[in-house]
Structure 1
Amino acid sequence: MKIIPQISVFDYSEIEILGDLERCKLLIENVPDEKIIHKLIEIRGKGRNEYPVIAVWNSILIMPLLECSTVEQLRRELSRNRDLRKLCGFNDYDYYFGKNKLVPPPKAYTNMIKNLKKIEPLLKECFNELREFMYENLKDFGKDVGEDGKIFLSKAKSLNQNGNYNDGRCDMDADFTIKENYYKDRKTGESKVKKKTYFGYRYHLLADVNYELPIEYTVTKASCGEREQFKKHIEMLPEEKVEIIDTASADKGYDSKVMIEFLKEKGIKPIIDIRNHWSEEDTKQYKGTDIVYTYNGKVSIVDDNGEIIPLKYLGYDKIKNTLRYRYQNKVYSIDINYDKRIFTPIARDSKKWKKLYNKRTSLERINGRMDRDFNLENHKVRGLKKATVIIDIMMIGMMALAKGHILNNHPEKIRKLKST
């Protein structure tokens, strides 16, 4: 049998492990979790302490970063990585002397999750403290925001046909929702819709679209309406933080007259894509004039020959609350209150509106990091409380890593979760 005396120079496993340790250390060191730890120790009381509360909490904190979707995966990772155990705070000496096992048993993590459900408001308070750090250290943080939601599945199944709530395999908190994806048939060019059913939960996220960091979030059943959560996020923010917001973007799923009016009342410029509800006519006349407009805010004028000519957008008049357009050296004003859903402070047909709306893709990138880097797509849960705790931990992790990069004078890395 041939013995390999050393690791191949082309084996990068050691480098990858070092990268994981660096990221985990950065995360643990920058989480303001003193209140959480103090409360967990208080709940434990004077019971057995083979596995310290701080060590178990730290291991759960880095669980998403290690892409572990189950406790068994986390325990396996800890058992094979001595440096990771040391980083979390576990003591291997007790194992060598036969006092306890190398890593905590599943029951220890089950109890920890139960306790975290009880003190979930402290997890949100921890996130809010990290958010405050961003407001203080990032220029114009919270000025341009965006809203989006993400569905993640339940680990269990729905109620059985008899509606038996005593069936432990079912999830009594989750529910069904149908997601519609619209696309065009390549052969016929016709618009079609593809429907898919999901059973689980949805997290709703309000984020800064420039820095791609979360500002506010909630976790609900999958069927919960997105517009209501958008309004709730704005209302949850302190008044001084709402005053910072200049624009708020969202896709056409959030489009409604009520939503736009709500944002305007808060002094926020809505950048929300619009759904086409017009069926019979392509344009509407503005106040009996020669000016006409389309459902997506394109403003034109009809000349004496009946030709429709687009007007040139000049900007928003804040004093008169009107949109200004020009045609042949003459300026026309459009009252944005005439059709509140179509006419917004930043005209829908302007380059500025398109530029701001394109920033909303940062929400898609955040969702991608949650799926890819924090393994949310494989992290199935059972119960709304546990789902909320899981999202809390992921959001705290994302913000803590960003905080670490800022303190280390690497603000360009605040969006990175995979490498430091």
Structure 2
Amino acid sequence: MYILQESLFSFEELQKIESKERLPIFFSALDLRPYARELRNPSPRGADGHCRQGILRALLAAPLENIDTFTGLARRLKFDLRFRYQCGLRLDIPAPSISTLSRVFAELTGKGLAKQLFEDLVTQCQEAGIIDGTHVAIDSAAIHAYEKKEPKRKSELTGNANWGAKFDTFGNKVKWFGYKLHLAVDAKSELPMALKVTSAHVNDGDEGPALMTTVAAKSKVKFFMLDAGYDQIKNYEAARNVKAQAIIPLNPRNEKEPPAGITRKGTPCCSMGFPMTYWGQEKVHLKFRCPHATGQVDCPLGMAACSSSNYGMVVKINSQTDLRRYALPHRESRGWKELYNKRTSVERCNSRMKTYLTADQLHVWGIQKVTTHQYLNAIVLLASALAIAKQRVQNAA
């Protein structure tokens, strides 16, 4: 296994390579034979004579080449012989038809092979040192659909497309019809480690615990970074249950009156009413010191009002007494803010999938097929990172 030291996300690097050279590099990281065997008909080749591994390659090459329909993929295979050859499809017979591509896609969906390939590639990226997995960011993205609209009650039962709304970065409320793509992303490599597709109306916070559990089963996560939409006690508990810490800003809509002598963000106040100074943590306890002793305020009574010690009054709070209010590290500390800033990794991953790939260009219907579509896009990111890592090792040899 090739090991990539100080790995950086390399999808843009692959995108800069010309298409005719990009595909061989991309496919060099993929061994699709085990998955193609699951797609084969009883005969050695399909009834239409097309190699299933070649069709699987073509379905993966489609998002990389920004081809978002079976019609567009069939046309590219028909008229671009180099593309067809690089996908491993024969040139002496007609290119696969739209119905053949659609049928293989349906098989991928029915047998869960896209999810299996995605999970195998996540493991390979971890073994190669590309995915670190100790700091994971979670967020959702809007996915637009053009399906026939169903009554809300029916769509809630089927999980298919529905109306959704969320606030953008600037606080504007955005509405759309379709789905949500929930992603858990490694903050170091900006690569997806777990995903789930739901109807657009599903609340972000409801999907946090499942994503955390899935990721924690694969790696030793220390911190999960999520935005204020996940500020629900179940997300803090889910992180604690896998021995990690949730880094989530407090959502004013969920806020209740804090305990007496405690600020909204969990800082205790001294007897004079000044917020105390955070002074690190001891296991699950947060330590705070007299603000006059640390030079943060000029108390008219000095330290004597609270303590006779030259060190000043010290307060220790057990963070386990209120997982939401007391974070490790403290919510107002530099360390907490540095951790939360890593949440932007999931935003960049979402952006790549929607801008450079085809995550937001749906031409399949139903949540099962939409999920397969998203897995194929995520697979492209993982395979691209593996391919570039392999290429770097070869160039260095």
Q: Same fold (TM over 0.5)?
A: yes
Match for 2:166 among 153, 157, 180? 180
Letter of the 1:344 partner, please give it: A
Match for 1:223 among 169, 192, 201? 201
* Counterparts of 1:254 and 1:234, CA distance in 2: 12
Q: Which residue of 2 aligns with 1:138?
A: 129
Bigger share in strand? 1
Question: For 1:32-47, what aligned pairs fall within 5 Å after superposition?
Answer: 32-42=31-41, 47=46
* Counterparts of 1:142 and 1:56, CA distance in 2: 32
**Contact 1:32 1:126 survives alignment (8 Å):** no
Q: What is the alpha-carbon root mean square deviation over aligned residues?
A: 3.0
* Counterparts of 1:293 and 1:410, CA distance in 2: 52
* Counterparts of 1:261 and 1:173, CA distance in 2: 26
Under a length normalisation based on structure 2, what TM-score does the superposition of the two structures give? 0.81
Match for 1:118 among 105, 110, 115? 110
**Structure 2 residue 372 is matched with structure 1 residue 382:** no
**Contact 1:313 1:350 survives alignment (8 Å):** yes
* 1:131–1:274 Cα change, 3 Å: same
Q: SS in structure 2 opposite 1:57?
A: helix
**Contact 2:133 2:186 survives alignment (8 Å):** yes
Deviations 1:68-104 (A, max 9, x none): 1111222333334222111012333x2xxxxx43x22
* Counterparts of 1:80 and 1:131, CA distance in 2: 34
Letter of the 1:276 partner, please give it: P
**Contact 2:137 2:224 survives alignment (8 Å):** yes
* Counterparts of 1:116 and 1:140, CA distance in 2: 26
**Structure 2 residue 383 is matched with structure 1 residue 400:** yes
Match for 2:280 among 315, 319, 323? 315
Letter of the 1:333 partner, please give it: K
**Contact 2:45 2:51 survives alignment (8 Å):** no
Gaps of 5+ in 2: 1-14, 294-310
* 1:326–1:255 Cα change, 3 Å: same
- Deviation, 1:238, is 6.3
Deviations 1:40-69 (A, max 9, x none): 114666653433222222111110001111
* Counterparts of 2:378 and 2:42, CA distance in 1: 24
**Contact 2:226 2:247 survives alignment (8 Å):** yes
* Counterparts of 2:322 and 2:214, CA distance in 1: 29
* 1:406–1:378 Cα change, 3 Å: same
Letter of the 1:175 partner, please give it: A
* Counterparts of 1:28 and 1:56, CA distance in 2: 13
Under a length normalisation based on structure 1, what TM-score does the superposition of the two structures give? 0.77
* Counterparts of 2:268 and 2:142, CA distance in 1: 37
**Structure 2 residue 54 is matched with structure 1 residue 79:** no
Match for 2:239 among 250, 254, 263? 263
Deviations 1:118-164 (A, max 9, x none): 222x3222222211122222177100111111221223121379x8x
Question: For 1:143-154, what aligned pairs fall within 5 Å after superposition?
Answer: 143-154=134-145
* Counterparts of 1:160 and 1:280, CA distance in 2: 36
Letter of the 1:62 partner, please give it: A
Q: Which residue of 2 aligns with 1:5?
A: none
Deviations 1:351-375 (A, max 9, x none): 0000000000010000000011113
Deviations 1:226-248 (A, max 9, x none): 23322112333464x35x11111
Question: Higher mean Cα deviation, 17-26 or 134-143?
Answer: 17-26
Letter of the 1:293 partner, please give it: T
Deviations 1:307-350 (A, max 9, x none): x43322111110xx211111123222122234331111211000
Give the percent of matched residue pairs that are identical in Structure 1 and Structure 2.
23
Deviations 1:252-284 (A, max 9, x none): 111112221221232101101111248896x64
**Structure 2 residue 276 is matched with structure 1 residue 285:** no
**Contact 2:41 2:47 survives alignment (8 Å):** no
* Counterparts of 2:380 and 2:288, CA distance in 1: 47
* 1:17–1:50 Cα change, 3 Å: farther
Aligned length: 359
| Structure 1 residue runs of 4 or more that deviate by more than 4 Å after TM superposition | 43-47, 277-281
**Contact 1:154 1:174 survives alignment (8 Å):** no
